[in-house]
Amino acid sequence: MSKHSLAFKLSVVEFCEKGGRSAREVCVHFGVDHATVRKWVASYEAHGAAGLAKKFSHYDAAFKLSVLQRMWEDGLSYRQTAALFDIRNKGSVVDWERRHKTGGIDALSPRRKGRPRSMPEPPISKQPQASHSDEAKSREELLAELNSLRMENAYLKKLEALTRKQPALKKRKSSKR
């Protein structure tokens, strides 16, 4: 939730503009940082009351690049650029410029949010459908599958035989002399 309501922001901007007061005087009167007052005034002048409302936006790489190009061409500051394009946080523009310098246009594409996965996603294996694909398999593939199934069957039989022997072994071990 925003720390200040829209009505409060509007009253601060109107107090600043109607009285011809500086941002420093207004910040003392309302108890708000002078940089915040300057940001609200610039946003209000550029976009009206909508510039002070809460905004949740996600920007694509093309928009970010156009913002940076406009900033570089016109020699605008980060604060001026943010106010011109209705970007609420000038730090976003700073971050976009830094990422563009290090990684180019690809670095401006939206990033995945949150904590990275600790384990990679399992690969999607294509299990052959037994009913449809048996006709499409060659003789060698069918023989290889048959051999694999025979080995699996033998392994399971051996495992079952060992588990049946194990209770008899446990009885011998548990007896004391």
Domain chopping of the chain, boundaries: 1-54
Residue 154 DSSP class? H
Distance of CA 58 to the CA centre of its chain: 11
Q: Where are the beta strands (DSSP E) in 19-173?
A: none
- Which of 33, 21, 85, 24 is CA-nearest to residue 9? 33
pLDDT tens column, 26-48: 878 888 888 888 888 888 887 78
Q: Is the dihedral of CA 2, 13, 34, 74 positive or negative?
A: positive
Count CA within 13 A, CB hemisphere, residue 91: 1
* pTM of the model as a whole: 0.46
Whole-angstrom distance, CA of residue 105 vs CA of residue 87: 19
Cβ atoms 34, 24 nearer than 8 A: yes
- pLDDT tens across 137-153, in order? 888 889 999 999 999 99
